[in-house]
Copies of this chain bind each other. A is one copy, B any other.
Amino acid sequence: MPEIFQTAAASTLDAVVPQQMAFDTPLPLQSGKQLSAYQLTYETYGELNAARDNAVLVCHALNASHHVAGRYAGQPKSEGWWDNLIGPGKPIDTRRFFVIGVNNPGSCFGSTGPMHTNPDPAAGGRPYGADFPVMTVEDWVDAQARLLDRLGIEQLAAVVGGSLGGMQALSWALRFPDRLRHCVAIATAPNLSAQNIAFNEVARRAIITDPDFHGGHFYQHGVVPSRGLSVARMIGHITYLSDDVMDVKFGRSMKETAPSYSTQAIEFEIEGYLRHQGAKFSTYFDANTYLLITRALDYFDPARAFGGNLSAAFASARCRFLVASFTTDWRFSPARSRELVKALLDNRLPLSYAEIDAPHGHDAFLLDDARYHGVLRAYFDNVARERVASGARHV
């Protein structure tokens, strides 16, 4: 029976269930260290076809998780972070694709991370804390590849990610050129600029210098460096939004009609918003994870091993690419995506590039923007058609 390509009413998957996979073989890391026995938390949506060639891996960014789409049973507001994009009838249509979301090791949403028990006998059964090994984008990709091995997926239809997730998608194209047919890299960059690193460093300093951080071993003290985490999150939020959208959403609106002339009270709406976001974040996000993930962002730089030549770095890639950027994204600006496009063109790699006029800054990659979703829908329609047209050519 032929697949149906018309756009049906989109719906959200219900009763999604996170799964665990344990790995006994240590994972060798870029740092020369290794991650001992570990487990990954992941979710899947849709069904793996008989040819096992319709899988799409979704890579998460800083503060997201394996919970990409759908809802948990009995939790009507538990939609995954990319639920607007992934599901039945959505741009990445789970009636055609078997979509996989995986929490990266070092994160704090289920996969082995700093708050888990350090298996080193010298740690005396305490959590890893600051001793969790520093992981890179490449390490995460290696961990994801092992998960696919276990799921029996030799080749992915696509790897998709935005921001740090986009870096993982790019890294897939370089580390496992034959294991993906499409790389979809959204709102990302071939490396961080000095300004990007600078913002990460300020956020890290806020966390590390919080007396409740205790050198990264705060778990034993029954505290959390919530002041530092809040400040880190506030900085993040500023860089996720465009200047314009902040002016539209908050502008100079004040909480009261007249100023209270206080340095400590919430005077402007934007202050209340940021404080709320910071406080909320500090209740659920792990401080060591924040450090690890920002460091992975800093380190990512595939051109580094090629003397800074990004085109040389992409000489090993063989898949097709969709690169997308947003006009108002000043964290990962379109100029950075164009660097990627140039490197891909230099290698005559098949590619589509969309520079999307959207007001929301970096956050746009998470939002339900019609032009953006239109681009992804069209691209994934083609990915699906191509698979049908070629039969089971990749199994």
Contact = CB atoms under 8 A, between A and B. Distances in A.
Interface of A: 30-33, 130, 133-134, 191-195, 197-199, 201-202, 204-206, 208-211, 216, 227, 230-231, 234-235, 237-238, 241, 243, 246-247, 249-252, 259, 261-264, 267-268, 270-271, 274-275, 278, 288, 291-292, 294-295, 298-299, 301, 304, 330
A192 B252 contact: yes
Contacts of A304: 252
A202 B273 CA distance: 12
Contacts of A259: 31, 299
A275 to B, nearest CB: 7
Given A191-B252, A243-B195, A301-B252, A208 B264 contact: yes
Nearest to A245: B194
Given A30-B261, A134-B262, A263-B134, A205 B234 contact: yes
Given A193-B247, A202-B234, 19 more contacts: A31-B261, A130-B263, A193-B246, A194-B247, A195-B247, A197-B252, A198-B237, A201-B270, A201-B274, A205-B275, A209-B227, A209-B231, A211-B211, A231-B231, A261-B299, A263-B291, A264-B291, A267-B295, A267-B298
A211 B291 CA distance: 22
Given A252-B191, A299-B259, A198 B264 contact: no
Contact of A235 (B235, B249, B251, B271): B235
A295 B250 contact: no
A247 B298 CA distance: 14
A205 B231 CA distance: 7
A199 to B, nearest CB: 6
A194 B270 contact: yes
A32 to B, nearest CB: 8
Copies of this chain present in the complex amount to 2
A18 to B, nearest CB: 27
A192 B250 CA distance: 12
A294 B267 CA distance: 13
A33 B262 CA distance: 12
B243 A231 contact: no
Contacts of A288: 263
Contacts of A295: 261-263, 267
A275 B197 CA distance: 13
A107 to B, nearest CB: 14
A199 B239 CA distance: 10
Contacts of A261: 30-33, 133-134, 295, 299
Contacts of A250: 194
A206 B234 CA distance: 10
Contacts of A237: 198
Contacts of A262: 134, 295
Given A134-B261, A263-B295, A206 B193 contact: no
Question: Of A134, A202, A235, A261, which is in contact with the most chain B CB atoms at under 10 Å from its CB?
Answer: A202
Contact of A198 (B30, B210, B270): B270
A195 B264 CA distance: 18
Given A252-B301, A299-B259, A206 B231 contact: yes
Nearest to A205: B231
Contacts of A278: 205
A391 B203 CA distance: 58
A206 B94 CA distance: 44
